[in-house]
Amino acid sequence: MKKVTLKPVTLILICLILIVAAACGSPASDDTGDTSGDTSGDSAAKDTLNIGVFLDTGTLDPVFMTGKGGYLSVQRTYCEPLWDYDLETGERFWVLATAFDPVDGSDIHYTMKVREGVTFSNGNPLTAEDILFSIKLNAEDSRAYLNVKVFDVEKTTVTDDYTLDVWYTAYDPSQEPGIVQMQIVDAESYDQATYSDNPVGTGAYAVTDYVVNSHVTVERRDDYWGEKPAVKTINFKCMGELSQRVNAIETGDVDFTLVTTADIDYVESLGTATTEVSNVGSSLIAQYNMGNTSPLNSVEAREAVSYAINRQSISDIAYNGYADVINWGASESLQEMQDRYLNMSELYTDSYNIEKAKQLAEQSGLVGKTLRIVTNGDANYITAAEVIQNGLEEIGVSAEIINYDQASYFSFLMSENEYDIAINTPVAPSNLPCDIFGNYPVFIPQDWNGADHDAYIELAQKTNATYDQATREDLVYDLLGQFNEHVLWYGLCEVPLVYAYNKDLKNIKHTVSGLTLYQNMAF
Q: Tell me how far apart the alpha carbons of residues 481 and 126 are, in angstroms, rounded to a whole number.
A: 47
Query: Does residue 21 form part of some domain?
Result: no
Mean pLDDT score, 77-90? 90
pLDDT at residue 30, as a whole number = 35
Residues pairing with 294 in the sheet: none
Q: What is the mean pLDDT of residues 152-178?
A: 96
d(CA 74, CA 406): 18
In contact, 504 and 48? CB cutoff 8 Å: no
Mean pLDDT, rounded, for 307-314 = 98
What CATH number does residue 167 fall under? 3.90.76.10
Give the pLDDT score at 67: 63
**Three-state SS sequence of 463-505:** HHCCCCHHHHHHHHHHHHHHHHHHCCEEEEEEEEEEEEEECCC
Q: Which of 260-274, 287-301, 344-358, 410-424 has the lowest mean pLDDT?
A: 410-424
Q: Is residue 255 part of a domain?
A: no
**pLDDT higher than 50, residue 348:** yes
Is 408 within the bounds of a domain? yes
Instruction: Kindly state whether residues 175 and 313 are assigned to the same domain.
Output: no
Give 163's pLDDT tier (boundaries 50, 70, 90).
very high
Which CATH number covers residue 478? 3.10.105.10
Residue 422: inside a domain:
yes
Residues 423 and 294 in one domain: yes
List the beta bridge partners of residue 234.
Answer: 49, 218
Identify the weakest region by mean pLDDT among 40-54, 107-121, 179-193, 470-484: 40-54
User: Last residue of some domain: 151, 185, 219?
Assistant: 185
Q: Same domain for 444 and 325?
A: yes
- End residue of a domain, out of 143, 168, 185: 185
Same domain, 144 and 293: no
- Whether residue 455 lies inside any domain: the answer is yes
Residue 309 lies in a domain: yes
In this prediction, residues 372-388 reach a mean pLDDT of 95
Residue 160 has pLDDT above 90, yes or no: yes
Q: Which domain holds residue 438?
A: 282-494
Domain end among 185, 216, 233: 185
Contact 259, 498 (CB under 8 A): yes
Q: Are residues 162 and 288 in the same domain?
A: no
Task: Flag whether the pTM goes above 0.85.
Answer: no
Please say if the pLDDT value at position 315 is more than 50.
yes
pLDDT tens readout for residues 468-483? 999 999 999 999 999 9
Please state, rounded to an integer, the average pLDDT across all residues of the chain: 89
Same-domain check for residues 490 and 378: yes
| HSE-up of residue 435 (Cα within 13 Å, Cβ side) | 28
Q: What is the arithmetic mean of pLDDT over 415-432?
A: 88
**Is residue 393 one of the residues assigned to a domain?**
yes
Residue 409 within a domain: yes
Residue 257, by phi and psi: left (phi above 0), alpha (psi -120 to 50) or beta? beta
Q: Taking residues 74-80, what's their average pLDDT?
A: 97
> Residues 134-144: what's their mean pLDDT?
92
Band of the pLDDT at 513, cuts 50, 70, 90? Answer: confident
What is the number of structural domains in the chain? Answer: 2
Domain match, 440 and 299 both = yes
Residue pair 47/373 in contact (Cβ under 8 Å)? The answer is: no
* pLDDT for res 90: 79
pLDDT-based confidence at residue 511 (cuts at 50, 70, 90): confident
